[in-house]
């Protein structure tokens, strides 16, 4: 008998129980255990109805992703599910937690499904670069119809039990909490009512209703925009369409063919890496699981500007009261007004109710005095980037905040240790770097100072999870991980334009790679004046700062989207960047001034210079221990800077290209272009000499 799947009988019900923590994934042991238990149930003459139920926190959450790419061991999941469907005794699936992917497909292979009202179901394979490969694309449309099946399968989003009942995906929903008891009660009802086996494969009314519909054309058109660059969403549509054009068995064959195409696509590797990297990043190296975490039940924020307001919303969204302190009432009113507007926009879009708008606004209090921070558990400073001002603020916080309060800075570049030196409790000081818009962007780059305590590190990582952010812990250096690498990419992008490329050529290479936005369109969004002010401050401090054609833009008040003109120009009501010949002229004049003769630059050179400079810097960041693992860097770039998850992140992408190729090109650029940014990383050289990858670290 299998360790992970057991069979026992309770009265007339044969109970098949899966117990394979953490999420009862359909690894080989579970698949073979399911078959053995089914056979036992078939042979058990006293068992009239069979019940499939899971121990632990959830029903089966899918195939075992860790087995992907490894040789497939029999029985395959489709054959397991076919055996359940072909059972001549009714099989009931009892769902709690999340029935996902192969887990939902297994339940769809059973004859009846009952779920707790707290349960969710979904086919999220598309998020892993795949499609449901065990009958989901053939059985789900037979229950839910074409449109809903396409929505669920191309988005990968979960649906709640009540909606699943309305769609016919489950047959009953129960408000109870004991899934075994709920399952047994439902199975007994099936037995008492003598209900027959009911195979989803045989259901055709939903197929008839949608056969020949143009819903497939509509979905493909919609995906052109929504799933730009992605492979598997389009295969999902092909597979579901097969359910409406082919008999069941042939539809299953077509699904398998399309599934294998996705399995072989490099995007699957990138998305599976992103899945696990996101989860691994939450486990900070050297921080044991039992490091105490402090309570965070109240938060203070300094600054009601764009960042402060967005950060406050994250905490109010999960029910944590926030006090925002500003210097002037006017600034406070403006900040609170923008928060309310953002919430009301979400209510207009139906994402939250008006009551939730009021509940969340009620959790956010404005103030003009630091005294209101004396009892808070965590304070986050979100004022503009000036060290002197930040140190003054932390000195004040040190004086007013209670012992044990965590003092955090949302700085995106400045030295956490220097900020902490303004307090007598540097062990309680940490960086919490949110990304704009802070209530939307998933990444929270937590920055440890040299004195930050383990407890504070563990607490801010727990806070990240609680406010539904993807938290990463990185070390303290200028620009931390994300901005430090972005700065290098920005430098190469500027040089490429100085040497002859156009801003739109550079941006197209980056958007073709899969970024949502190019380097220069991003500068226009952030504001050309931001970089200009920093360069001017450095020049006024006597630093030698290279001249830049961007300075000319700022001096002509071309500040980007906010002035409808920057590197690109913008039309009223649109954020689409339009190339502007005036800028081409500014760049041409700048080159003349600098004595630069422009040259033809290929897209490949742009790609290599913009991406390999980042990878070389990423390797230096790993060398210095600013990032503990290459996957931390990948997660920062995927969730903070829009690097396409289907490429797995810049370091994973580098491993796919081959570090030998990367190093060869970096060394060539070092010879040709010079500059610290192209000095090959020692770690990169070491890995190449040892034939290893970033993934091996
Ligand atoms: N396989 C292996 N490990 C898994 C797993 C899976 N399917 N799902 C989760 N884990 C691990 C995860 O790595 C973590 O491990 C722990 O479980 C807890 O996860 C043929 C081919 C279920 C909603 O895509 O969405 O079926 O870090 O931290 O926030 O059609 O995990 O503790 O060592 O995420 O409570 C389709 C993926 C597979 C679901 C729980 N299924 N999982 O979220 O915990 S493809 C999925 C999730 C498929 C068939 C195809 C979430 C969750 P560790 P967690 P959580």
Q: With 0-12 CB in 10 A as exposed, 13-18 as middle and 19+ as buried, what is 209?
A: exposed
Distance CA 596, CA 3 (A): 72
Q: For ligand 1, is residue 22 a contact (CB within 6 Å)?
A: yes
Distance CA 97, CA 105 (A): 15
Q: Secondary structure of 260-322 in the HEC alphabet?
A: HHHHHCHHHHHHHHHHHHHHHHCCCCCCCCCCCCCCCCCEEEECCCHHHHHHHHHHHHCCCCE
Token couple for 100: 């996902």
Q: Give the Å distances, CA to CA, from 481 to 73, 199, 552.
A: 41, 53, 30
Atom of ligand 1 nearest to the CA of 279: 27
Q: How crowded is the C-beta side of 679, counted as CA atoms within 13 Å?
A: 4
CB distance 427 to 451 below 8 Å: yes
Q: For ligand 1, is residue 63 a contact (CB within 6 Å)?
A: yes
pLDDT of residue 1: 56
pLDDT of residue 3: 82
Atom of ligand 1 nearest to the CA of 65: 1
pLDDT of residue 76: 97
Whole-model pTM above 0.85?
A: yes
CB distance 175 to 119 below 8 Å: no
Cβ-based neighbours of 56, under 8 Å, separated by 6 or more: 19, 21, 22, 23, 24, 97
Q: For ligand 1, is residue 98 a contact (CB within 6 Å)?
A: yes
Q: To test the ligand 1 pocket, which listed residue (58, 60, 62, 157) has its Cβ within 8 A of the most ligand atoms?
A: 62
Distance CA 506, CA 565 (A): 18
Q: For ligand 1, is residue 61 a contact (CB within 6 Å)?
A: yes
> What is the mean pLDDT, run by run of 10 residues, along the chain of 697 residues?
90 98 97 98 98 98 93 96 98 98 98 98 98 98 97 98 98 97 98 98 94 93 93 98 97 98 96 97 94 98 96 98 97 97 94 96 98 98 94 98 98 96 98 96 98 98 98 97 97 98 98 96 93 87 90 96 96 94 97 97 98 98 98 98 98 98 98 97 98 97
CB distance 335 to 305 below 8 Å: yes
The angle that helices 603-623 and 650-657 make with each other, rounded to 10 degrees, is 110
Q: Give the Å distances, CA to CA, from 264 to 231, 259, 652.
A: 11, 9, 17
Q: For ligand 1, is residue 102 a contact (CB within 6 Å)?
A: yes
* Backbone Cα Rg of the chain: 28
Token couple for 692: 């290893």
| 3-class SS of residue 406 | strand
CA of 199 to the centre of ligand 1 (A): 28
Alpha helix stretches (DSSP H) within 410-480 = 416-420, 454-466
CA angle 440, 652, 644 (to 5 degrees): 35
649: left (phi over 0), alpha (psi -120 to 50) or beta: left
Distance CA 379, CA 425 (A): 14
Q: For ligand 1, is residue 77 a contact (CB within 6 Å)?
A: yes
The residue nearest atom 42 of ligand 1, judged by CA position, is 61
Q: For ligand 1, is residue 101 a contact (CB within 6 Å)?
A: yes
Options 85, 125, 255, 326, the catalytic residue = 125
CA of 617 to the centre of ligand 1 (A): 32
Beta strands in 382-442 (DSSP E): 406-409, 429-434
The residue nearest atom 16 of ligand 1, judged by CA position, is 22
Q: For ligand 1, is residue 104 a contact (CB within 6 Å)?
A: no
Q: Give the Å distances, CA to CA, from 10 to 14, 41, 103, 568, 617.
A: 6, 12, 24, 71, 62
Q: To test the ligand 1 pocket, which listed residue (20, 23, 97) has its Cβ within 8 A of the most ligand atoms?
A: 23
The angle that helices 329-348 and 306-317 make with each other, rounded to 10 degrees, is 50
CA of 23 to the centre of ligand 1 (A): 7
Q: For ligand 1, is residue 25 a contact (CB within 6 Å)?
A: yes
Token couple for 560: 């980007």
The residue nearest atom 27 of ligand 1, judged by CA position, is 279
Q: To test the ligand 1 pocket, which listed residue (20, 65, 265, 464) has its Cβ within 8 A of the most ligand atoms?
A: 65
Helix (H) / strand (E) element for 177: namely: none
Q: For ligand 1, is residue 130 a contact (CB within 6 Å)?
A: yes
Q: For ligand 1, is residue 105 a contact (CB within 6 Å)?
A: yes
CA of 303 to the centre of ligand 1 (A): 38
Q: How crowded is the C-beta side of 453, counted as CA atoms within 13 Å?
A: 15
Q: What would you measure as the largest C-alpha separation in the chain, in angstroms?
A: 93
Distance CA 203, CA 21 (A): 34
**Residues written for the chain:** 697
Whose tokens are 């996705």? That residue is 262
| 3-class SS of residue 366 | strand
CA of 505 to the centre of ligand 1 (A): 40
Q: With 0-12 CB in 10 A as exposed, 13-18 as middle and 19+ as buried, what is 214?
A: exposed
The residue nearest atom 51 of ligand 1, judged by CA position, is 61
CA of 279 to the centre of ligand 1 (A): 10
Atom of ligand 1 nearest to the CA of 100: 41
In this structure, how many other beta carbons lie within 10 angstroms of the beta carbon of residue 51?
28
- Whether 105 is catalytic: yes
604-625 burial: b if 16+ Cβ within 10 Å, else e: ebbebbbbbbbbbbbbbbbeee
Whose tokens are 């932390």? That residue is 394
Q: To test the ligand 1 pocket, which listed residue (61, 122, 125, 265) has its Cβ within 8 A of the most ligand atoms?
A: 61
Q: For ligand 1, is residue 128 a contact (CB within 6 Å)?
A: yes
- Whether 690 is catalytic: no
CA of 133 to the centre of ligand 1 (A): 16
CA of 250 to the centre of ligand 1 (A): 30
Options 85, 105, 278, 608, the catalytic residue = 105
* Nearest CA among 399, 392, 394 for reference residue 371: 399
Q: For ligand 1, is residue 66 a contact (CB within 6 Å)?
A: yes
The residue nearest atom 52 of ligand 1, judged by CA position, is 61
Q: For ligand 1, is residue 133 a contact (CB within 6 Å)?
A: yes
Q: What is the DSSP string of 558-604?
A: --BGGGTBSSEE--TT----EE-HHHHHHHHHHHHHHT-------HH
Q: For ligand 1, is residue 124 a contact (CB within 6 Å)?
A: yes
In this structure, how many other beta carbons lie within 10 angstroms of the beta carbon of residue 247?
11
pLDDT of residue 478: 93
Whose tokens are 């033809």? That residue is 600
Distance CA 239, CA 167 (A): 20
CB distance 3 to 40 below 8 Å: no
Distance CA 693, CA 659 (A): 7
């Amino acid at each position: 008998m299998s360790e992970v799947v057991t069979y026992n009988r309770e009265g007339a019900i044969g109970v098949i129980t899966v117990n394979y923590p953490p999420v009862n994934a359909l690894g080989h042991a579970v698949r073979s255990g399911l078959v053995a238990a089914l056979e036992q149930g078939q042979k058990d003459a006293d068992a009239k109805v069979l019940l499939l139920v899971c121990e632990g926190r959830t029903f089966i959450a899918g195939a075992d992703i860790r087995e992907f790419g490894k040789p497939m061991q029999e029985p395959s999941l489709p054959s397991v599910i076919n055996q359940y469907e072909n059972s001549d005794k009714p099989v009931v699936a009892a769902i709690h937690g999340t029935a996902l992917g192969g887990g939902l497909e297994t339940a769809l292979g059973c004859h009846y499904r009952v779920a707790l009202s707290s349960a969710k179901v979904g086919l999220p394979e598309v998020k892993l670069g795949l499609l449901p490969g065990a009958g989901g694309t053939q059985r789900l449309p037979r229950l839910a119809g074409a449109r809903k099946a396409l929505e669920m399968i191309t988005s990968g989003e979960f649906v709640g039990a009540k909606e699943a009942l309305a769609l016919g995906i489950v047959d009953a929903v129960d408000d109870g909490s004991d899934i075994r008891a709920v399952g047994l009660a439902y199975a007994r009802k099936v037995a008492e009512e003598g209900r027959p086996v009911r195979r989803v494969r045989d259901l055709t009314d939903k197929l008839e209703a949608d056969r020949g519909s143009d819903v497939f054309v509509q979905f493909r058109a919609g995906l052109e925009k929504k799933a730009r660059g992605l492979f598997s969403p389009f295969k999902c549509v092909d597979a579901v369409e097969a359910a409406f054009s082919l008999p069941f068995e042939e539809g299953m064959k077509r699904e398998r063919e399309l599934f294998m195409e996705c399995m072989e696509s490099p995007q699957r590797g990138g998305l599976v890496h992103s899945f696990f990297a996101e989860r691994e990043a939450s486990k900070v190296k050297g921080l044991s699981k039992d490091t105490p975490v402090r309570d965070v039940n109240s938060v203070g924020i300094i600054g009601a500007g764009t960042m402060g307001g967005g950060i406050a919303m994250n905490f109010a969204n999960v029910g944590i009261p926030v006090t925002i302190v500003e210097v002037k009432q006017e600034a406070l009113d403006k900040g609170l007004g923008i928060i309310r507007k953002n919430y009301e926009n979400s209510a207009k879009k139906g994402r939250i109710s008006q009551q939730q708008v009021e509940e969340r606004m009620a959790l956010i209090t404005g103030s003009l005095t630091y005294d209101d921070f004396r009892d808070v558990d965590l304070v986050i400073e979100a004022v503009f980037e000036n060290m002197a001002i930040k140190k003054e603020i932390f000195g004040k916080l040190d004086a007013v905040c209670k012992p044990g309060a965590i003092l955090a800075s949302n700085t995106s570049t400045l030295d956490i240790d220097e900020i902490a030196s303004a307090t007598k409790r540097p062990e309680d000081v940490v960086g919490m770097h949110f990304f704009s818009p802070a209530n939307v962007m998933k990444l929270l780059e937590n920055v440890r100072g040299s004195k930050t305590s383990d407890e504070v590190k563990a607490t801010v990582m727990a806070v990240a999870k609680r406010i539904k952010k993807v938290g990463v812990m990185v070390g303290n250096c200028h620009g931390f991980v994300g901005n430090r690498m972005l700065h290098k990419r920005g430098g190469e992008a500027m040089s490429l334009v100085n040497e002859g490329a156009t801003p739109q050529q550079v941006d197209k290479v980056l958007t073709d790679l899969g970024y949502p936005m190019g380097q220069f369109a991003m500068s226009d969004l952030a504001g050309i004046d931001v970089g200009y002010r920093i360069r001017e401050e450095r020049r006024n401090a006597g630093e030698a700062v290279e001249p830049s054609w961007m300075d000319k833009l700022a001096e002509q008040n071309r500040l980007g989207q906010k002035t409808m003109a920057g590197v690109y120009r913008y039309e009223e009501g649109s954020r689409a960047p339009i190339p502007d010949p005036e800028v081409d002229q500014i760049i041409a004049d700048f080159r003349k001034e600098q004595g630069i003769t422009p040259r033809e630059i290929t897209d490949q050179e742009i790609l290599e210079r913009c991406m390999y400079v980042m990878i070389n810097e990423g390797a230096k960041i790993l060398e210095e221990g600013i990032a503990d693992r290459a996957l931390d860097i990948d997660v920062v770039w995927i969730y903070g800077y829009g690097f396409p998850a289907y490429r797995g992140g810049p370091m994973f992408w580098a491993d796919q290209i081959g570090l030998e190729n990367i190093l060869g090109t970096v060394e060539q650029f070092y010879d040709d272009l010079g500059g610290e940014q192209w000095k090959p990383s020692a770690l990169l050289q070491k890995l190449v000499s040892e034939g290893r990858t970033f993934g091996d670290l």
